[in-house]
Structures are given as C-alpha cells and as structure tokens.
Chain A
Amino acid sequence: MRTGATVRTAVTGVGWAVAGPDFDPVTALAVRGMRHKDRASRFAVRAARRALEDAGLLDAPELDGAAVVVSSNFGNLDPVCDTVTTLAAGGSTDIGPMRVPQLSSAVSAAWVALDHGIRGPNLTLCNGASGGLDAVAAARNLIAAGRATAALVIGVEPDSPAVARLHRETAGSRWIDGAVGLVIEPVRQAVRRGARIRAEIAGYGRAHDERSAVRAAGATAVPRLGAEANARFGRCSGALGVVQCALAVERLDDPDVPEGEAVLAVAGAGTGESDGTSVAALVLRLSRGRHT
C-alpha cells in the first residue's frame, strides 16, 4: 500500500446519464431495481454501467478491488427536506423505511458498489464546485497508494423540488439533472488488457486560489477547457469536474488532436461556478503511443 504516487493513471471509460438523444430519464430511471432508489442514485447507477461498458470492464474481475468515488453536493437534499417535513407534520413512524438510506450522502456510491460487487474503497465527496475534479484526483490517489485496482468516478446532481428551489433562490436558471461516470485505471493495467486509453491524468492541484491550484497542477501553460460544461448543462455543482473531464476526453478523442495534447479543467472559487471554497485544477493529456 505504500507504493509512491508515481503510478500512471488514465481514463478508459466514459458514461453519460443525462437527458439527450441516447438517454431518456423517464424510461431509463424507471427500470427494474430502481424503485427504492433516490433520483441521484438512479442516475449514478446508469452512468456507472455505461462507463464500465465503455471501458470493457462490466463484470470484469478487476472490479472486486476497485473503488467507487462519488461527487455530489445535493444528492440527498430532497430526501432530507422531505424527512424533516414528515417529522414536523407527523412523526418518525410516518417516514417511509426505504427513504431512510436515502438520507445518507453516501447512498449513491453504495448502490453503485452493490450493483457491480465493487468491494474496494467507497468514497463520497461533498466538496462544493471543485468536488468532481477532487473525486477524479482521489481515484488517482487511491490507485497510486495501492488501495484500489481501478476506480469508478461518478459526478451526480439530481433535479428535485428541493434542489430546484435552492438554485432559484440563488439566481440560478438552469442546472444539470443527471450523472456522468469515468473509469480510471493504471495505465499499465489498461495496456495489459488492451483497453483504449482515452486520456492520462497528468496533473492535479488544489488551493485557496486559482493561480496556486493551476501552478500546483503544473499547468500554467496548458490550454484551458472553456465554459462548455455550464453552457451545455447549466450549473453542474458536484458533477462539474466529472463533466469537464468527460468533455475533455471527447475533445481529445478527435483523431486530428496531436499526441501529447493536454487540456486543463478548473473548478471552484472564482471560476464560472463558484461557491467560495477551494479551487481544483486537473490536467488530462492524450498519450496514445506512449504507454509502454
């Protein structure tokens, strides 16, 4: 477990569960097994399955020692508000028993682990707007520290009545309703199993201010991802960094992009979606031919 943080890690799978041509939440979230799950968990398990499929790791033995890392700030907001209202109006006996697990911020990560028998670290971050990038970095760190064989990172924010109200009260007009998943694994393992390496994680930094974070990520000269995430989905909150990484991977997927091209994602204080806490910066780099 004490291996140094020198293990190279890469994104090998991306899975979207956001309304669009190939995903209809109305039908996709109403399938068998969803009944007792909250909306965030429903999105999370769909994104997880798609990301694992994309990486070719569905039902793979590598998953037993893998990690699940979820970033979500409002995933359990609706169940919590709902429960407080129920208690105020009646009593604890009026709470639906299947609503209880949904009070935990960690419930989506638990469902994803249950769905795929993933028994490694199971981590949930509620870090504000930088949480998604922090989750990707946490996945990298878990692999580098020898605590996980691979990691499934999910960024998820549901659009529920409580979340919608929160956004409206804070001058929001549009926000994401969905999840995105990334599979992160050691480059060496990805090469060994013949997986397609979409992008390598080339740097990460977090600090109180943006300049320090970018410097810590070693990315002062790296071209930065614009406001695509917010332009496409509105506010992304805890899902933001994971959405940014998925968009960066899409950009690097373009066959015209030269080897070694890198993209910098920045989220947190002072950026487009700011919450006044710390800033994270993460670099993804294309490295098609440099795996061995």
Chain B
Amino acid sequence: MNTYDGDRRVVITGLGAISCLGTGVAAHWDGLLAGGGEPAEVPLPHLNMRTTKMYLVDRADVPAQPASHAGVELGSSPRLAVAAAEQALADAGVEEAARAAVPVVLGVELGNADMQEIQRSAGRTAWTTLTPAAAVVGAEIGSRAASTSVGNACSASGYALTIALDMIRAGEATTVLVGGAEGITRAGIGAFNRLGAADPVRCRPFDRNRAGTMFGDGSAMLVLEAAGHARRRGAEPYAELAGAAWSCDAYHPTAPDPSGDQIVRAMTEALADAGLSSSEVGCVIPHGTGTPLNDVVESQALHRVFGGRTRALPLFSLKAMIGHTTGAAGAFACLTATLMLRHRTSPANTPIEQDPECDVWVPQERPVRLEAPAVLVNTYAFGGNNTSLVVRDVAGAVSDMAGGGEGAARVGTGVAGEDAEGARGDHR
C-alpha cells in the first residue's frame, strides 16, 4: 500500500530498453542521435507475403533466458521483457527485498507467438499460453504482487502506463514496473500486408511516399513511483508522468475516425490531467505509424490542440527509427520522452520527403532544444483505442530549462555512465 500521503505525483525513476538500437538506455539514446535503425529481413520461413522486413533486435542481443516458465517455452518477447525489466529496476535502485511488492503491468499484443510459430514449424502443435510476459517478468524479478497483461493492440503499453499511474495515485502501490515487449509473428506482418498497410521500404511516417507501417521488436520498461516514496528513499527521478487520458473512436474496427475528435479529446484531457496548457509542451512523440490516413488525421488533430503554434512545435517521429513496436510502442515513446527531457533535446528526425497533407514540423537537420517542460506522447490502435500521456520535467528543474545547460549538439555524446550522473545532477 502507498502510505506516503503527501506527494501523490508519479515519477519515473528507472528505465530499461532493448531494440534494434541495442541493449540499454544509453544505446537507445545514442542510436536515436545517430539516426536510428535499419530494417532487416525477418529470419523466419513461410513468409509468404510482399513485405518481409522489420526493425529487429540484433539476434545476438536476444537473451537466451528465461527459456521457460511454468512449463511454457518462451520466445523472444518475454525474454526481452525480463532483460529490460532488470535494467529498469537496477536503474531505479529497487532492491531485491522491495521487489515482492512491485506490481507488473505490461502491454503485450503478439505475446509468445514467435515461439508458437517455431514449435508449429517443427511439427509440435500443443497449445501454450499466448501472453505469459507479465507473469514471467513478475516471477523473474521476485514480485508477489499482481501482474497485468493489457491487450489493447498498438496502444497496449500506453494503456498499461495509465493503469500504473492510476494504481499509484489511488494508493494501491508505491512502485510499479510498467512497459511493453514484442517479438516477431508472421500473423501480424501477414495481416498488415493483407490490409495494404505494410511498407516494403521502411517505416516513414509523414512521408509523401509512405505505404503503411513496418514493425519492430524489443522491450521498453519504466519504473513508476510515488514521488514521496522516491524522495524518501533518496531516488532521483528522471521525470514525472504528469497526466494521461484515454478515449475510443467508436468508429471502425481498424481505421481511425477521420474527424480526429476522440484523439483531440485524449490529448486535451491528458494535458488537463497534467495541469498543463498546450504552450507548456516542447515536443510531441506522435503515434505516427506511416499508414496514410493515421498520419494525416493525427497532423490535423495536432493543429486543433496546438493551434498556430503547431508549425513551430517539433515532432519526434520515433517509429521511423525503431519501427512500430506495437504493444511496446507507448512504453518506448514514454521512455524516449523521458530521455528527451533529461537531455533537453529532441534528436534530429530520419530524413523524409514530407507529405504536404501532414502540415507538421518534423525537424530533420539537427537536434532541437526543448523549449518547454513537457513532452506529449500519443498511442493509437485498432478499434480506435487512443491514449495520450504527458511526461514532464520534475518540478524544480523547470526553471533550469530557460537558460544555461548543455548545447543540443553535444548532448548524448558522453560516456553513458557520466552522462546519466550529470543529467541526474541537474534535478537536484
């Protein structure tokens, strides 16, 4: 139970990541600054479809353990989840003894499908649990609290983050491990191929030639903590998860509502939940998948939320660098937003030939300095499931943002350990 009544704000005290950019948060940030990853051929047989590429974790980086849980052989997704979870907990300094009380909330859409497909290819057809990742992570970290698997497709970890936020606000827990993990599955890639929504070249949101999305695998994890609890144990927060909101289009099972009314509502309510105005947002990590309609509708919705400021508001198009990590996309975006606030900069975007129908600013030439204390994150999904989240600089650091600090061009070039120390020092 959360017995720290004073400060119910929710802060981010630990991060963990594995993606095509490498293992660890420093590799993630440096990879973004270096321009992101490149698509690779999916190493599976029977890919009877046009687009067969993904933004893949280097197979040598996929942990071999845990190989099984409760009799279920585990594919890459739960193993990536465990590795990212260990990183995040170590980063937050959550001791072994404290882990029993930490609930686990994960967004996992494609689950253990790659293992099932491997077994099926080998002629073994016995069914096993599809989404064991949250239970596996809970067991591996020594949690005896509840584990939750959120199945809201591409916004699953955005939903997971909101659930974790509400758990801490309601006093159900002081610390929650939250995130997402995805492996590879033919069914997912095949489905997007069938919808004509799988770009054969790369993931290129807001590009005039975009032809759908391209998936990525990996895992991103965050430790959320009641601010008072973090303070009491001397943990230095990276940032605050200040607000979140959900909405549903109730329009179509796969396509977004072209009016964008409900994604506008999610953004507006998330800002209200955070107690911030739109002028306090320094950058947006859009859902931006590369599917033609999504990017246009989202661009128009951003204009409705940010008005005349939209063309001067930097977007960071994360999926162009790590692909669409589906159930993990919201966690990767929040983790990236946190790092952007820590470094006070938004990395330069992957070069695109911008679609004039997407009238937004996707700065590509150089990193852009964050001029306001918050980053807005959007995640949307099949079924019109929308989430917006607001990550903001921890109070006290806000005034620092106006002057001084390191130049954008230098950010992230230091040794990871030093970099982390320095950035955390900023918040003291």
Identify the 4 closest CB pairs spanning chains A and B, nearest first: A110-B383, A91-B48, A92-B49, A105-B151
Q: A87 in the interface, Cβ–Cβ < 8 Å?
A: yes
- CA of A69 to CA of B254 in the docked complex: distance in angstroms? 18
Identify which of residues 101-141 in chain A touch chain B, using a CB-to-CB cut-off of 8 Å.
101, 103-107, 109-111, 113-114, 116-128, 134, 138, 141
- CA of A169 to CA of B148 in the docked complex: distance in angstroms? 26
- CA of A55 to CA of B187 in the docked complex: distance in angstroms? 39
| Nearest chain A residue, comparing its CB with the CB of B254 | A101
Contacting residues, chain A, for B251 (C-beta < 8 A) = 114
- CA of A82 to CA of B383 in the docked complex: distance in angstroms? 21
Q: B23 in the interface, Cβ–Cβ < 8 Å?
A: no
Are A113 and B254 touching (Cβ within 8 A)? Answer: no
Which of B86-94, B240-248, B283-291, B415-423 lies at the interface? B240-248
Q: How large is the interface on B (under 10, 10 to 19, 20 to 34, 35 or more residues)?
A: 35 or more
Produce 1/0 per residue, B117-158, CB < 8 A to A.
100100000110111000100100001111111111100000
| Nearest chain A residue, comparing its CB with the CB of B253 | A101
Q: B46 in the interface, Cβ–Cβ < 8 Å?
A: yes
Produce 1/0 per residue, B257-282, CB < 8 A to A.
00000100100010011000000000
Q: B55 in the interface, Cβ–Cβ < 8 Å?
A: no
Contacting residues, chain A, for B194 (C-beta < 8 A) = 92-93, 95, 97, 100
Min CB distance B199 to A, Å, is 14
Instruction: Report which of A90, A101, A120, A144 forms a contact with B382, defined as CB distance below 8 A.
Output: A101
Q: B67 in the interface, Cβ–Cβ < 8 Å?
A: no
Query: Provided the pairs A83-B190, A141-B170 are in contact, do residues A110 and B384 lie with their beta carbons within 8 angstroms?
Result: yes
Q: How large is the interface on A (under 10, 10 to 19, 20 to 34, 35 or more residues)?
A: 35 or more
Contacting residues, chain B, for A120 (C-beta < 8 A) = 246-248
Contacting residues, chain B, for A276 (C-beta < 8 A) = 70, 135
Given A1-B269, A93-B193, A277-B147, list of 12 further CB < 8 A pairs?
A2-B8, A91-B190, A100-B191, A110-B384, A119-B249, A121-B246, A141-B166, A141-B170, A162-B127, A166-B127, A276-B135, A278-B146
Q: B171 in the interface, Cβ–Cβ < 8 Å?
A: yes
Instruction: Report which of B163, B193, B248, B269 forms a contact with A113, defined as CB distance below 8 A.
Output: B248
Are A125 and B151 touching (Cβ within 8 A)? Answer: yes
Identify which of residues 169-194 in chain B touch chain A, using a CB-to-CB cut-off of 8 Å.
169-172, 186-191, 193-194
Instruction: Report which of A93, A123, A141 forms a contact with B159, defined as CB distance below 8 A.
Output: A123
Q: A232 in the interface, Cβ–Cβ < 8 Å?
A: no
Instruction: Report which of B50, B146, B169 forms a contact with A145, defined as CB distance below 8 A.
Output: B169
Q: B385 in the interface, Cβ–Cβ < 8 Å?
A: yes
Q: B393 in the interface, Cβ–Cβ < 8 Å?
A: no
